[in-house]
Structure 1
């Protein structure tokens, strides 16, 4: 039995980044950059007005009120590209280029137009540089704006478009097969008989995998047949980068996954983790390089172990810089109990109290099969191994769930 940190490290060591591919910007959202994004222009590309008003020379209105002659207008996409002289002003809109010769913009609320809109009275002085964003003050041409390994978000899309990336190099999405085992399982469209339950793991695992960026394939139920399981794993590994099984990893007569993997010649890296819930978790690699995660059968154990281990592999394959779930510190609203020799990852809801402190409310749940209670969880409270109890009001480490 190995610590959780060792298991995470082993997964990282044996996961290879997949080849990159070029995609259109319209298909790039949620993918991971495989190239640095470099500015091909200054931003802003010209001195830009921050508000509606008048571009002028600050020295001309130092003793305001002062009257200036309006010589033109500068609007977004239609600038006034002449030299502004002393005693002149240019009517300007937010986002428009500031004309050469002007060194400030007075907001329209502090002005009054006169004589058929040919003159403007500036009611108050303005300091040089006021309401102007200088060219290149946000980013300069040639600078790296985004780095390889970052995920492309909605905000990132604006950056790509602004710097001319109609196509962008990204990590390939891994293909992942999901396979649930157990004779007690029936498909979702069947009513369970005596001693049976509907398969839920195939759907939660596929959903978690797709959130992480994988292309998921749900396979038919395997039952408790080692030869069938072996064949399904082998066939799935031929067309997928990762195979995730659930169930059949406990010790004894119901351990079907490890014998099947051994018969396939897989290299097993670990098969038990000091983790609650989720101790009987298997990680292996087949001869063709496909990774296999054998997860426990209980739904909560599946969620915990997938997000700790399989999710990290999916992200690493795409070249993601950050592969682990984000960790934060929160204050317990209720006491929690730990376990001997194992780290506990307990479901909780996060909230912020009136003082702005992040709070974690541990959920009442009936164990690793209580997936109904787990639905309400937004995070996992981490309880170190060999910790008997952590009292309420104590600061603890929490991991946000995707």
Structure 2
């Protein structure tokens, strides 16, 4: 049994060695949401592309209203979308709308609330003194041409698409979506909607993994439930691996029971098991293996919260490394109360943030208990060493799931 840090290092190393298999492609900006950039993305042009007016009002040379009140003739009207007024006309003010190009010779805008129209709009009285740059959005003030919008390895969210669209980027180089397959195991499992029957339990984890893996920006394939039959599992495993998937997940059959056949089955299929059992709770029986010229393999424990922890803290880092994304950094938090834990195990406990910034460990931490997951908004990570932590002890914490970019 190894510690979480050592297990994570092996996962990241194995995934980084396979990252070249996740090739690049170029997609339309409208299809880039949730994808991972394959190159640094820079602005193609200045944003704003010209000096423009931040308010409805009057554009003028600030020197003309250095002393207020000041009366000036109105030289014309400039609307948003009008071609810039390039000929310099001095001695007056332009009636301008928000977003209009700043007329030549002007260096400030007076909001309409600080001016009074005279002579039916032919003139204006500026009521307050004006400084150069007032209510002007200068060319390139947001992004200059060539400015970095996001580095390579960024998971693109709506905010990134906003910036890229503003910068004139229409197509984006991204990493191919990793392909993740799942084979669930267990003769006791019944899909939702089917009769449960005596001695049977619902297959909850497969529905969770389908949703969660897709949210991580990967393509997901579910290949059904296999009873505890190594031969059937082996045949299906070889069929799925031949499809060229990047990561293959299994659920169940990785512990020490008579029906826990996955480790022996993987060994028989030629997989190299890099670790089996990690010093953590929940999810200690987790397994990680690789198949030469085949997928990386995670044997996730069958209890539902163990599956959730396995995905969050083992599979997600693998997908990050495959996509060339940086490692996730934890938040730091303080415990709201004393807590006990098993000595020698790193604990990923369901928790929620309180108004005072501390985190509360929730009741119901057993690996079969889903209800407390619904009340949680973060994971409190308690270190291996020791069997108790005091209130206000500082710990690592992670969001319950990776947030969208």
**What TM-score bracket applies, with the shorter chain setting the length?**
over 0.9
CA distance in 1, matches of 2:223, 2:353: 35
| Alpha-carbon distance in structure 1 between the residues aligned to 2:374 and 2:67 | 67
Checking the alignment, whether the CA contact within 8 Å between 2:44 and 2:169 is kept in structure 1 is no
Aligned to 2:383: 384
- Other-structure match for 1:78: 82
1:196 paired residue number: 200
In 2: Cα distance, 1:70 partner to 1:269 partner:
78
| Matching of residue 8 in structure 1 with residue 14 in structure 2 | no
Gaps of 5+ in 2: none
Which residue of 2 is the match for residue 28 of structure 1?
32
Match of 2:347 in 1: 344
Q: What TM-score do the two structures reach when normalised by structure 1?
A: 0.94
Q: Which moved more, 1:388-397 or 1:359-368?
A: 388-397
Residues 349 and 365 of structure 2 are in contact (CA less than 8 Å); yes or no, is this contact kept in structure 1?
Answer: no
In 1: Cα distance, 2:66 partner to 2:367 partner: 74
Contact 2:43–2:169 (Cα < 8 Å) also in 1: no
CA distance in 2, matches of 1:67, 1:84: 19
Tell whether the 8 Å contact from 1:56 to 1:84 is kept in structure 2 after alignment: no
Shift of 1:163: 2.3
The alpha carbon displacement at 1:366 in A equals 5.2
Correspondence for 2:246:
241
When structure 1 is superposed on structure 2, of 118-127 and 182-191 the one drifting more is 182-191
Taking structure 2 as the reference length, the TM-score comes to: 0.94
Tell me the distance in 2 between the aligned counterparts of 1:365 and 1:171.
Answer: 39
2:295 to 272, 290, 299: 290
2:61 aligned to which of 50, 54, 57: 57
291, 304, 307: which one pairs with 2:309?
304
**Structure 1 contact 65–125 (Cα < 8 Å) conserved:** yes
Distance 2:261 2:65 in 1: 85
List aligned pairs for 1:141-220, cutoff 5 A.
Answer: 141-220=145-224
Q: Secondary structure at the match of 1:14?
A: helix
* 1:317 corresponds to which of 318, 322, 330: 322
In 2, the alpha carbon distance for the partners of 1:171 and 1:260 equals: 32
Stretches of 4+ moved more than 4 A in 1?
Answer: none
Task: Report if aligned partners of 1:60, 1:86 keep a CA contact under 8 Å in 2.
Answer: no
CA-to-aligned-CA distance 1:185-244 (integer Å, 9 cap, x gap):
122222222221111111112222111111111122111111111122221112221110
The DSSP-based 3-state class of the residue aligned with 1:217 is strand
Q: Distance in 2 between matches of 1:286 and 1:166?
A: 39
Q: 1:80 Cα deviation (Å)? A: 4.3
Partner SS for 1:221: strand
Q: CA deviation at 1:33?
A: 0.7
Does 313-322 or 335-344 show the bigger shift?
A: 313-322
Structure-1 separation of matches of 2:354 and 2:211: 25
Query: Is 1:334 paired with 2:337?
Result: yes
Aligned partner of residue 142 in structure 2, secondary structure: coil
Give the counterpart of 2:280 among 256, 261, 275: 275
> Is the 2:46–2:167 contact (alpha carbons within 8 Å) kept by the matching residues of 1?
no
> Matches of residues 134-145 of structure 1 in structure 2 within 5 Å?
134-145=138-149
Structure 1 position 62, deviation (Å): 1.6
Counterpart CA distance in 2 for 1:336 and 1:214 is 36
Partner Cα distance (1:396, 1:285) in 2: 32
Deviation at 1:252, TM superposition (A): 4.6
Of residues 103, 128, 136, the one that matches 1:99 is: 103
The answer on 1:364 being equivalent to 2:363 is: yes
- In the aligned structure 1, how far is the partner of 2:324 from the partner of 2:392? 39
Question: Please, which of 36, 41, 44 is the counterpart of residue 45 of structure 2?
Answer: 41
- CA deviations over 1:373-395 (Å, ceiling 9, x no partner): 22322211111113221223333
Q: Quote the offset at 1:334 in angstroms.
A: 3.1
Unaligned runs of 5+ in 1: none
Distance across 2 between alignment mates of 1:393 and 1:150: 34
Q: Distance in 2 between matches of 1:337 and 1:380?
A: 16
Partners in 2 of 1:366 and 1:309 — Cα distance? 19
RMSD (CA atoms): 1.6
